[in-house]
């Protein structure tokens, strides 16, 4: 079993939809949770970074962490075609290596 599970998609939605992306994990020691966006043939770009359980909002993006269920989510409101990319969840304990999900490919159609 992988430490971090993420549905690879693709997830196809129309422009303006609310998108929900999710990851589950098995290691309760993970403390820091991140979401990265990766466009084709580019490096991952940090979107959201959270430490504790609860919600964190940044513009159209909301990151949610539920440590009791070992479940994290990224919500994108008013999705745009420019949001089409692969979204990677990542997590770590302390300042050690990041453990990544496989990524979910999102397609937002105009």
Partner 1 sequence: GAGVSQSPSNKVTEKGKDVELRCDPISGHTALYWYRQSLGQGLEFLIYFQGNSAPDKSGLPSDRFSAERTGGSVSTLTIQRTQQEDSAVYLCASRPSTDTQYFGPGTRLTVL
DSSP string, 72-90: EEEEESS--GGG-EEEEEE
Give the footprint of partner 1 on this chain (CB under 8 A).
4, 6, 8, 32, 34, 36, 41-46, 49, 88, 90, 95-103
Residue 13, token pair as written in the block: 């939605």
Q: Closest approach of Cβ 49 to partner 1, in Å?
A: 5
CB of 65 to partner 1, least distance (A): 14
Residue whose CB is less far from partner 1, 64 or 86: 86
Q: Are 6 and 101 in contact (CB under 8 A)?
A: yes
Question: How far apart are CB 52 and partner 1 at their closest, in Å?
Answer: 15
86: its two tokens = 């692969």
């Amino acid at each position: 079993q992988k430490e971090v599970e993420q549905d690879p998609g693709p997830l196809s939605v129309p422009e303006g939809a609310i998108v929900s992306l999710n990851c589950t994990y098995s290691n309760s020691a993970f403390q820091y949770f991140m979401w990265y966006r990766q466009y084709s043939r580019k490096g991952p770009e940090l979107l959201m970074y959270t430490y504790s359980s609860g919600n964190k909002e940044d513009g159209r993006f909301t990151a949610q962490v539920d440590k009791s269920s070992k479940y994290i989510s990224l919500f994108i409101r008013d999705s745009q075609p420019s949001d089409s990319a692969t979204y990677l969840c990542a997590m770590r304990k302390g300042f050690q290596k990041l453990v990544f999900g496989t990524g979910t490919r999102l397609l937002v159609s105009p």
